[in-house]
Amino acid sequence: MDVRVETVAAAQAPARAAPRIASIDLMRGVVMIIMAIDHVRDYFSPFPYEPTDLSKASPALFLTRWITHFCAPTFVFLAGTSAFLYARGAGSRGRVQRFLLTRGLWLVLLELTWISFCWRFDLNGVNFQVIWALGWSMVVLAALLYLPRAAMAAVGLALVFGHNAFDGWHYRDFPGAAGWAWALLHEPRFETLASGYQIAALYPLVPWAGVMALGYVFGDVLLLPAAQRDRWMRGLGGAAVLLFILLRLSNYYGDAQQWTANARGTLYTLLDALNTTKYPPSLQYLLMTLGPVLLLLPWLERWRGALADRVTVFGRVPFFFYLLHLPLIHLASDIAVRIAFRTTVPAFSKQLPAGYEPSLARVYLVWLLLILLLYPLCRWYAGYKARHKEYWWLSYL
């Protein structure tokens, strides 16, 4: 999400502007647009089975879901990078820490209120998803700023590379509150309480905090001369992809979900090798997603033209985009279902109306219309923020 900031409070002197890195906004814009595909699919074309279930899913459905795997790791990683760029001009470590703390807790509050409501359109549950993980990762990053850069990198690497060593531990092995603590840190948990209230904790914090810390450390790379920066990004990205291939082929470490030969044929076996674990994000999942992102950044730095300008608009105001797209998708899907089937369907329900047929063509059509609708709104807000830097509260949206 958008972690570029201009000031912390109106009483404070404005920070020196962070250096603009074109590829960062472009990459954020790309993943925001891609992310919307998955959310449109959730509401406009739910399937009676998981899109990653390769015993039933088609290659097109699997890849429609798989391409969106790149979004959350990129959000969190670049949030750390943007915090680094802000810190370059903030003037003091305390100032950066205060912003990360307040911004992080604000994101957590929004996840528990507005965003959870937009997912559900009721008050009978709460979701702990990507905004929750972003918020708490910022709080953790604020504490990690006390460390030297090398120590921060070591902590980030330890969290990302080491958390799969605990895959054999499960929240059901811990009593009471300890089980919830373990779920929030390492393992997804979905519970329906006796009252009917639902809690969906899908984004365990440990690996995501490590990703953000590594994104902060990565900021040093962006300050290098262009040729040297590109070599570092290609080297890091290539190493991540190579390590993913080695770990995945060996089935040795880094993902609880091992791949096997698929009875449906070679293509499905190859797709199964890409079917890594997102909840929580395994080491292999993060290598598979962040490696190509690092490889793509040097090319994005040189991408120019009308299309690049339009994609950049979304990358400049990604959180604004996020807060708008969920209620729009959900409301539009409710209206469409009522018109087509004279009924309503609870969000993510597998009890689909009689005569309903899922359609990826419908997904991509609605997704395109959504992007076209949100572009002028995002362009307006990006311009408004640029013209009103004196309004410190805009940095929170």
Would you say residue 102 lies in a domain? yes
Tokens 């993980």 appear where?
133
Would you say residue 12 lies in a domain? no
Q: In whole angstroms, what is the distance from residue 103 CA to residue 142 CA?
A: 11
Q: In whole angstroms, what is the distance from residue 391 CA to residue 386 CA?
A: 10
Strand order in the sheet with 189-192: 125-128, 198-201, 189-192
Mean pLDDT of 245-269: 94
Do residues 170 and 179 make contact, with C-beta atoms less than 8 angstroms apart? no
| Residue 146 CB burial class (10 angstroms; 0-12, 13-18, ≥19) | exposed
The residue type found at 27 is M
Would you say residue 199 lies in a domain? yes
Would you say residue 162 lies in a domain? yes
Average model confidence (pLDDT) across the chain: 90
Dump the DSSP string for 175-231: -HHHHHHHHHHTS-EEEE-TTS-EEEE---HHHHHHHHHHHHHHHHHHTS-HHHHHH
The residue type found at 28 is R
Tokens 């509150």 appear where?
177
In percent, the amount of the chain with pLDDT more than 70 equals 93
Would you say residue 238 lies in a domain? yes
Taking 90 as the threshold, does the pLDDT of residue 194 lie above it? no
Do residues 313 and 375 make contact, with C-beta atoms less than 8 angstroms apart? yes
Taking 80 as the threshold, does the pLDDT of residue 65 lie above it? yes
Q: Domains in the chain: how many in total? A: 1
Would you say residue 7 lies in a domain? no
Taking 50 as the threshold, does the pLDDT of residue 11 lie above it? no
The contacts of residue 346 (CB under 8 Å, 6+ apart) are none
Mean pLDDT of 85-92: 84
Q: What are phi and psi of 350, to 5 degrees?
A: -90, -5
Residue 10 confidence class, pLDDT cut points 50, 70, 90 = very low
Taking 70 as the threshold, does the pLDDT of residue 128 lie above it? yes
Would you say residue 17 lies in a domain? no
Would you say residue 146 lies in a domain? yes
Is pLDDT larger for residue 246 or for residue 1? 246
The contacts of residue 372 (CB under 8 Å, 6+ apart) are none
Taking 80 as the threshold, does the pLDDT of residue 296 lie above it? yes
Do residues 99 and 75 make contact, with C-beta atoms less than 8 angstroms apart? no
Cα dist. 107→27, 37, 83, 118, 346 in Å?
Answer: 21, 23, 15, 15, 26
Mean pLDDT of 202-228: 95
Per residue in 327-347, pLDDT tens?
999 999 999 988 988 877 665
Q: How many CB atoms lie within 10 A of CB 159?
A: 20
Q: What's the number of CA atoms in the CB half-sphere (13 Å) around residue 285?
A: 27
The boundaries of the domain holding residue 147 are 22-396
